[in-house]
């Protein structure tokens, strides 16, 4: 009943209690209770006098259309979808351990314990955003895993650019629009000493979120495609992302990071900026001079030029 009501709300703008009761063949009280349960699950359902219920900020995701577009584009990608997962990265890693092939995608409508980097949380309410994790099995040594995560950022940049969004990569792999975070990436590695067994690329893109739906305590207010004036269409975004990821991973394997470096540098939000980089217990201030051919951040400071593989960046000016 809860699922059927959700499906109805996803199809329609407003549905009155009476209309929903008639369509679903239940009482109005049963509809009201189901609305309450959906709200408890995190669905933003609003009520308007004389109009009824509406699912707020719903961003469409048509699984069948996505799967058929992947096939039509000749991609290897296979889509696995569920309503709710603790974290699509954990789901994908479990499947990778059980032998899931490269470009298996695990996508959830919501995450109950979405993860950011370094134990941080990723806000993942239902129906609004893309939470997607992809199993990659590149023929690369583990030492080049950080290049892979930079390549994932290039893929996300390509996907949102295909929708017309003017985005920037913030090193190492955040995607920003107008200085606000649109997407984050969490890469997790399973490797033998000499080869990558699987890398799970977890991508969270804010699609239909509105400003007042983000928790107020986030460091800088994030943004979403909808907030930037774009269609909150998760289907198209996902297909563009799957296509871009296969293309960049292929390039990295055949031609090395050098093949992606110019694109990364063009898309980088930090070029020429004065920043402070935190890595482990250390921090360094300097000016960003782009990425070198191995994917290290080049930081210029009084002591000379330094190459940094990963860290957290704060822009000073």
Q: Which residues bind ligand BT5 (CB under 6 A)?
A: 87-89, 111, 114-118, 120, 122-123, 131-133, 174, 181, 184-186, 202-204, 206, 218-219, 222
Residue, CB closest to ligand BT5: 184
8 Å CB contact between 301 and 285: yes
Q: Cβ closer to ligand BT5: 15 or 227? A: 227
Residue closer to ligand BT5, measured from CB, 213 or 294: 213
Find all residues with CB under 8 Å of 280, minimum gap 6, and list them.
none
Backbone torsion region of residue 102, taken as left when φ is above 0, otherwise alpha when ψ lies between -120 and 50, otherwise beta = beta
Smallest distance, ligand BT5 to C-beta of residue 117, A: 4
In whole angstroms, the minimum distance from the beta carbon of 83 to ligand BT5 comes to 15
Pick 42 or 256: Cβ nearer ligand BT5: 42
- Taking the complex as a whole, the smallest distance from the CB of residue 21 to ligand BT5 amounts, in Å, to 35
Q: SS3 sequence, 219-251?
A: CCCCCCCCCCCCCCCHHHHHHHHHHHHHHHHHH
Is the bond preceding residue 195 a cis peptide, omega within 30 degrees? no
Least Å from the CB of residue 92 to ligand BT5: 8
Adjacent-strand bridge partners of 288: 299
Q: How far apart are CA 193 and CA 203, in angstroms?
A: 26
Of residues 218 and 258, the one with the C-beta less far from ligand BT5: 218
Residue placing its CB nearer to ligand BT5 in the complex, 23 or 189 = 189
The answer to whether the beta carbons of residues 197 and 191 sit under 8 Å apart is yes
For the CB of residue 86, give the shortest distance to ligand BT5 in the complex, in Å.
8
């Amino acid at each position: 009943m809860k699922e059927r009501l959700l499906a109805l709300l996803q199809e329609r703008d407003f549905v009155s209690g009476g209309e929903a009761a008639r369509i679903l063949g239940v009482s109005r009280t049963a509809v009201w209770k189901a609305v309450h349960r959906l709200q408890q699950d995190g669905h933003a359902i609003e009520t308007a006098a004389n109009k009824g219920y509406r699912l707020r900020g719903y961003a469409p995701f048509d699984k069948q259309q996505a799967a058929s577009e992947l096939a039509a584009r000749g991609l290897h990608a296979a889509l696995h979808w569920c309503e709710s997962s603790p974290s699509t990265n954990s789901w994908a890693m479990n499947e990778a351990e059980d032998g899931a092939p490269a470009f298996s995608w695990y996508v959830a409508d919501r995450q109950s314990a979405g993860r950011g980097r370094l134990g941080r949380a990723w806000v993942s309410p239902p129906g609004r955003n893309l939470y997607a994790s992809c199993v990659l099995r590149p023929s690369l040594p583990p030492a080049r895993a950080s290049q892979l995560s930079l390549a994932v950022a290039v893929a996300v940049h390509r996907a949102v650019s295909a929708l017309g969004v003017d985005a920037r990569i913030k090193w190492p792999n955040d995607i920003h629009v107008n200085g606000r975070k649109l997407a984050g990436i969490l890469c997790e590695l399973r490797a033998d000493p000499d080869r990558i067994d699987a890398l799970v690329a977890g991508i969270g893109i804010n699609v239909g979120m509105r400003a007042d739906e983000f928790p107020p305590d986030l460091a800088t207010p994030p943004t979403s495609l909808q907030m930037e004036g774009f269609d909150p269409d998760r289907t198209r975004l996902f297909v563009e992302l799957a296509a871009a990821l296969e293309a960049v991973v292929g390039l990295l394997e055949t031609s090395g990071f050098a093949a992606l470096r110019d694109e990364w540098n063009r898309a980088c939000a930090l070029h020429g900026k004065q920043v402070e980089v935190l890595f482990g217990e250390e921090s360094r201030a300097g000016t960003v001079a782009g990425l070198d051919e191995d994917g290290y951040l080049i930081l210029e400071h009084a002591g000379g030029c330094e190459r940094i593989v990963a860290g957290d960046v704060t822009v000073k000016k």
